[in-house]
Structure 1
Amino acid sequence: MANLLAIDTSTDACSVALLHQGEISECHEIIPRQHSQRLFGMLAELLPSGRLREQGIDAICYGEGPGSFTGLRVCASAVQGLCFANRLPAVPVSTLEAQAHAALREGLVSSGDTILSTLDAQIGELYWCRFRVDGAELVALDVAAVCKPGAMAAAGQGAMVAVGSGLNHLAALPSELRSRLSHCYADLLPRARDQFPVALAKLARGQVQSAEAVCPVYVRDEISWKKLSEQGKPA
């Protein structure tokens, strides 16, 4: 099994996890607007020397988004720097998918269930995507989207388990959609450790990025991010 470092700063949580020889260790703290101050301290706690390749790390996975604009930029900048300095590939993981894996790991859903993974997008909107649980795997049923709560119309029929901070807008969701939510877990947040199932599968398929290609996924079309080669920095 590959050894992976995972980073997520897409929400109020600052989350770092290490998968090494099959064992997981993590640092996970709810620290709104303090990600940049705390992130590298967390990394030092998990990997004291800072030399990732020497400690057996094969790749760095990260929460690519959607999520907080500032948080996603903090994460992408850190991952770019770490990958470049350590000559390691990056593996992007959807924050909505990682959050759905958190629900599966915590036993909130089981095989055959449909998960509605949501995040509060602020300014009266939410990010969302549905996933079907297939054993220990998740199958995305949608492309991640953002909308006003009242405009949300998840396709399909049947019950769903809803998770994530987007449920702050629960009362504003269409009544037909609310009637399909069998359980709601608004306090669930993405954790770095829940990137590992997705990242391992992507790594096995060769779906990796160079440092230069690391880029947040905002979902919103009007937001842009400059990659390393566009920032005037050496590749």
Structure 2
Amino acid sequence: MIMHHWGNDVRFHEQARENNPYVYTGDSPANEVMHDRLVQISRYVDEAIVQDYEVYPYVERYYKKVHVVPIAIDLEPFTPVFPKKDVRRPLILHAPTNPDFKGTLVIEAAIKQLEKSYDFQYLRIEKMNHEEAVKLFSEADIIVDQIRCGSHGLFSVEAMACGKPVIAYIRDDLALKFPPELPIVNANPDNVADRIKFLLENPETRSELGMRGRAYAEKYHDKKVVVDTLERIYEQLPS
């Protein structure tokens, strides 16, 4: 057997704040609950999978081995539509699926401030099914994901698969753990307005990042690529 952890199920509160002053852990259980669960699971399961090195430290002491396997998606539904360089009113999207965790209040305060000086559209992806959201992706010029966690999530991967530039927060101490061609524009609550402003002012960069994002999704997050990694992990598990 192998266990797969995703983040909030194991994000110990104080530990998360050691390297990240912005992180929100209100959706994680109490430390004691997470510890007890991990102790119980690791009695029977020797190895675990996490999606990145932000999650890795929370579980490494409980398992004999922890594998880092990127988020996998089916690229088929995501047709890349790269941002046009001559668009008159860029469209910015944000999905506040968990506003506190993602930093929605700060993001939307930055949007409101920038609206005073720039002509663009802003839409929240909410109250729609996934198929509708993906259709909206194709119209976007900039996508803002989560700016508090310290790593990107599934929304960022889907946005890159659609050929869109993505803004998210990647912790400085984790940046080198990702592939060097990660095209995400790094932003935290202190500078997200400046990062959005930069993309608004640079349409050629938006287009370039969109193309790099699609290539990144194909190379690291395509389910056909990730499944090979999973098979190798399963094959070496003790019988």
TM-score bracket for this pair, using the shorter chain length: 0.3 to 0.5
When normalised by structure 2's length, the TM-score is 0.33
When normalised by structure 1's length, the TM-score is 0.33
